[in-house]
Amino acid sequence: MILKYIAFWIPLVIIGIINGIIREAGYGRFVNELLAHQISTVTAIILFLWVRVVPRRQVANRVSRPGHSNRRDMAGAYGCF
């Protein structure tokens, strides 16, 4: 069970680091500190939601196939959310 949580959090850490690098090396030099912080916050929220939503869509697509047993997929995919 704990491995599911770790597998979910690792991409979030990587996204946070990449978001900070993009901010400092990219648009952070061209806008003031407040605007850079706001842009960074919005992009982080979008990417974090993407990490949470995309795996669910992939599972939903797998489950909706005809002749596919969805009992095991649903329990495994949604167990950590």
Please provide the distance, in angstroms rounded to a whole number, between the alpha carbons at the two ends of the chain: 11
37-78 pLDDT per residue, tens: 999 999 999 988 888 777 665 655 655 555 555 555 555 555
Give the list of residues 6+ apart from residue 68 with CB closer than 8 angstroms, or none.
Answer: 62
> pTM, whole model, 2 decimals?
0.59
**The residue count for the chain:** 81
Contact 36, 28 (CB under 8 A): yes
Query: Domain coordinates of the chain in residue numbers?
Result: 2-78
Please give the backbone phi and psi of residue 65, each rounded to the nearest 5 degrees, phi first: -70, 140
